[in-house]
């Protein structure tokens, strides 16, 4: 029998349990007596002894009771089953309690199994002894394994807790970096230090550093340090400036590196980091999303340590998060810079708008709500309700469906320039303006605002009225003496012609009469322009045959001294309609005059007449120099003369075509020009044949 077995083999399991329980109670009472009355410093020791007591008590009771019951109920041959149960109980106790409870459980199980094996008074067999020995070895192994697993689990939980805390801290840092409109240098430094402290915490390191690349020079500069000791900033700066330095290598190789036994190194290679307190260092590059190295993140230990792949991956992950934080800070800096630029541009724009003499209004689609307006606009729309400003702008047109430039820009996104409108401030107060509007679009082409400009043309309209009135008065006053002048000149010329011998004087008087006729036509043109603009020109349509009218025009020119030949081409024998024959004659005569002016001597001017559906078409074709597209757009303007007319000193005021277009429009027709440089010009008049 082994020495550790009791000599009295007839002791039953209940006896063993009762003796152990009594011993434990005595031990508990003794501990309680020793801890009673001690001060708070001794209570910690009492707590430890109580913890030890209860761990041992749990281990013994949890193992002793079930095994004792089985030992009483089952024969000695079933002891191996009890050993297996004992191993399970030891594992449970070691997991619930700790190694102390597990050890007590092993001892209790060994005692019960040994007593169970000699339950019938026989000597235990060798196999049974091996069973008990195996129980002891297996129990110790299980307790050691469970204790190690619990220790590693505790470490993992601590690391997970530290990682969560650090991740939370980094997330908070990123949130602060993203929400602050402007980061001051002090706030930026605080964020850098918060990053370093978080990285040190999650790696359970002794020291940490954040080394960043300068945006302008690209040199690496320490931004935040923790735990590296005095003069660490200069040491890390020197290491980063050395091509084979630890920090410089991380940046160049763009990968995580570690360095152990720093203080045992020699030479100049790691002289910089050797001046710090750490003995082991792990560093990872901080790389942005556009693959730029923003800096290096470092952690260090005060002991020699070889960093595991897990620790390396952890720092890599943290470096990625740090890169995100730094990019967020950079974005906020750019956003602040852009915001400042936008504010400066807005101030400059406001100053420009304020100094513009025209009234400017910025409105938002689709309702046209006014966003901004300058002082000129406020003065122009004085007295108009703010919600009705844009509605008070009415185009000068009798058609109510015509939209103002602002309404067109808001509704269709179209631009409109220099549209004559009236601003109706009241029933009696209406201001004439030239209105323009243009939409402002975003990158996707959506109209986000409309800028409207209004130029008060009250003074121009008054000046135009006075001019027309002056022209009308002057024309009448000029026309009044022309009639008697022409009459007296013709009378004197006839008298001298009868007397004979005065051919030179008669020729001169005829020349004067021609000039008077030309002056009369000019005055008549001025009068017609004045009447057209004032709306007093009368059109008296009567049944008229255009064939007869065109023949009269051609015959009048053919009987004169025209330097060009005037011919008529028409297959029509009669083409009747309701027109004012005097005004149509004036139109055709002006077109022929214009053709004769610009045709070379000996050329032919052809007038044509044809019929189209519900319209009569009259054409006047010359062999002049032709007109380009730029001049075509202005040829029918009042007082417009082509460069050829100005350079060639062609007589006229530039009113003939303007009057022709106005007179044709009064008849409900149209006049067009077909021309090209060097190919002559053809003016085509279309007059409706139906009333």
675: domain CATH number? 3.30.565.10
Is residue 1, in this structure, part of any structural domain at all? no
Are residues 171 and 263 in contact, defined by beta-carbon separation less than 8 angstroms? no
Q: What's 507's domain CATH number? A: 1.10.287.130
383 and 428 inside one domain: yes
Of 335, 365, 391, the residue at which a domain comes to its end is 335
What domain range is 75 assigned to? 13-153
Is residue 170, in this structure, part of any structural domain at all? no
515 and 561 inside one domain: no
56 and 191 inside one domain: no
**β-bridge mates for residue 64, sequence order:** none
Measure CA 505 to chain center. 86
Of 456, 477, 505, the residue at which a domain comes to its end is 456
DSSP character at residue 563? S
Are residues 211 and 197 in contact, defined by beta-carbon separation less than 8 angstroms? no
Strands (E), 306-429: 359-364, 369-373, 393-395, 416-424
* Of the candidates 423, 421, 450, 447, the residue with the CA atom closest to the CA atom of residue 435: 421
76 and 204 inside one domain: no
Q: Which two tokens stand for residue 366?
A: 């689709």
Are residues 609 and 620 in contact, defined by beta-carbon separation less than 8 angstroms? no
- pLDDT at position 620 is 92
Q: What is the DSSP code string of 601-659?
A: TT-EEEEEEEEETTEEEEEEE--S----HHHHTTTTSTT---HHHHHTT--S-S-HHHH
Of 481, 505, 534, the residue at which a domain comes to its end is 534
570 and 627 inside one domain: yes
Distance CA 658, CA 661 (A): 5
Angle between helix 40-73 and 99-117 (nearest 10)? 30
Q: What's 240's domain CATH number? A: 3.30.450.40
447 and 474 inside one domain: no
489 and 556 inside one domain: no
554 and 496 inside one domain: no
Count of domains for the chain: 5
Is residue 516, in this structure, part of any structural domain at all? yes
Is residue 36, in this structure, part of any structural domain at all? yes
185 and 326 inside one domain: yes
Is residue 311, in this structure, part of any structural domain at all? yes
Q: What's the alpha-carbon Rg for the chain, to the nearest Å?
A: 57
Helix (H) and strand (E) counts in the chain: 19, 18
- pLDDT at position 648 is 52
Is residue 312, in this structure, part of any structural domain at all? yes
201 and 294 inside one domain: yes
Residues in the chain with pLDDT < 50?
1-14, 16-17, 20-21, 24-25, 27-28, 31-33, 35-41, 180
Measure CA 584 to chain center. 62
Is residue 567, in this structure, part of any structural domain at all? yes
| Cis amide linkage into residue 258, ω under 30° from 0 | no
DSSP character at residue 366? T
28 and 89 inside one domain: yes
Q: Three-state SS across 270-282? A: CHHHHCCCCCEEE
- pLDDT at position 6 is 41
Q: Any idea how long the chain is?
A: 691
* Of the candidates 110, 102, 85, the residue with the CA atom closest to the CA atom of residue 143: 102
646: Cβ contacts below 8 Å, ≥ 6 apart:
none
505: Cβ contacts below 8 Å, ≥ 6 apart:
496
294 and 365 inside one domain: no
- pLDDT at position 16 is 47
Neighbours of 405 (CB within 10 A): 25
Is residue 258, in this structure, part of any structural domain at all? yes
- pLDDT at position 8 is 40
């Amino acid at each position: 029998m082994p020495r550790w077995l009791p000599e009295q083999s007839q002791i039953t399991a209940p006896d063993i349990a009762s003796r152990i329980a009594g011993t434990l109670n005595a031990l508990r009472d003794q501990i309680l007596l020793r801890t009673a009355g001690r001060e708070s410093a001794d209570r910690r020791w009492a707590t430890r002894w109580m913890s030890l007591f209860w761990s041992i008590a749990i281990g013994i009771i949890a193992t002793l009771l079930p095994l004792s019951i089985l030992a009483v109920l089952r024969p000695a041959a079933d002891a191996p089953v009890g050993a297996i149960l004992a191993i399970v109980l030891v594992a449970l106790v070691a997991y619930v309690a700790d190694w102390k409870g597990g050890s007590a459980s092993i001892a209790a199980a060994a005692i019960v199994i040994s007593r169970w094996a000699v339950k019938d008074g026989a000597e235990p067999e060798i196999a049974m002894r091996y069973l008990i020995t195996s129980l002891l070895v297996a129990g110790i192994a299980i307790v050691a394994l469970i204790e190690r697993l619990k220790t590693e689990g505790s470490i993992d939980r601590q690391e997970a807790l530290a990682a969560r805390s650090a991740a939370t801290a980094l997330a908070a840092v990123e949130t602060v970096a993203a929400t602050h409109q402007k980061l001051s240098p002090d706030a930026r430094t605080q964020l850098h230090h918060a990053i370093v402290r978080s990285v040190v915490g999650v790696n359970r390191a002794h020291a940490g550093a954040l080394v960043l690349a300068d945006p302008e020079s690209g040199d690496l500069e320490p931004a935040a340090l923790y735990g590296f000791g005095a003069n660490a900033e200069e040491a890390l700066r020197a290491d980063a400036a050395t091509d084979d330095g630890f920090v410089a290598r991380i940046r160049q190789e763009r990968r995580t590196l570690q360095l152990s036994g720093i203080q045992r190194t020699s030479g100049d290679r790691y002289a910089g980091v050797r001046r710090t307190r750490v003995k082991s260092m792990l560093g990872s590059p901080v790389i942005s999303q556009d693959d730029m190295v923003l800096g290096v993140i470092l952690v260090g230990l005060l002991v020699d340590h070889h960093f595991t792949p897990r620790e390396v991956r952890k720092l890599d992950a943290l470096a990625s998060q740090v890169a995100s934080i730094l990019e967020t800070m950079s974005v906020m800096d750019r956003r602040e810079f852009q915001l400042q630029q936008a504010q400066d541009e807005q101030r400059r724009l406001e100053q420009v708008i304020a100094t513009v003499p025209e009234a400017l209004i910025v409105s938002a689609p689709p309702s046209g709500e006014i966003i901004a307006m300058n002082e000129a606009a406020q003065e122009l729309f004085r007295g108009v309700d703010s919600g009705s400003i844009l509605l008070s702008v009415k185009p000068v047109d009798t058609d109510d469906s015509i939209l103002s430039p602002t309404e067109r820009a808001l509704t269709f996104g179209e631009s409109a320039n220099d549209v004559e409108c009236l601003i109706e401030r009241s029933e009696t107060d209406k201001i004439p303006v030239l209105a323009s509007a243009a939409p402002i679009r975003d990158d996707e082409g959506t109209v986000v605002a409309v800028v409207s400009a209004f130029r008060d043309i009250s003074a121009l309209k008054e000046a135009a009225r006075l001019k027309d009135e002056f022209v009308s008065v002057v024309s009448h006053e000029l026309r009044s003496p022309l009639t008697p002048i022409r009459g007296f000149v013709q009378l004197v010329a006839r008298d001298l012609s009868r007397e004979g011998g005065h051919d030179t004087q008669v020729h001169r008087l005829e020349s004067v009469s021609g000039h008077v006729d030309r002056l009369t036509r000019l005055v008549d043109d001025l009068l017609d322009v004045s009447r057209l603009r004032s709306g007093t020109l009368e059109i008296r349509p009567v049944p008229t045959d255009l064939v007869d009218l065109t023949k009269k025009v051609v015959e009048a020119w053919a009987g004169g001294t025209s330097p060009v030949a005037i011919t008529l081409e028409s297959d029509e024998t009669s083409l009747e309609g309701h027109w004012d024959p005097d005004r149509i004659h004036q139109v055709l005569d002006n077109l022929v005059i214009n053709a004769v002016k610009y045709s070379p001597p000996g050329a032919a001017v052809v007038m044509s007449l044809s019929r189209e559906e519900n319209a009569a078409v009259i054409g006047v074709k010359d062999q002049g120099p032709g007109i380009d597209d730029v001049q075509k757009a202005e040829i029918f303007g009042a007082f417009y003369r082509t460069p050829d007319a100005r350079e060639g000193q062609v007589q006229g005021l530039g009113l003939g075509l303007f009057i022709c277009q106005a007179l044709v429009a009064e008849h409900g027709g149209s006049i067009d020009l077909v021309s090209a440089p060097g190919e002559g010009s053809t003016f085509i008049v279309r007059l409706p044949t139906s009333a």
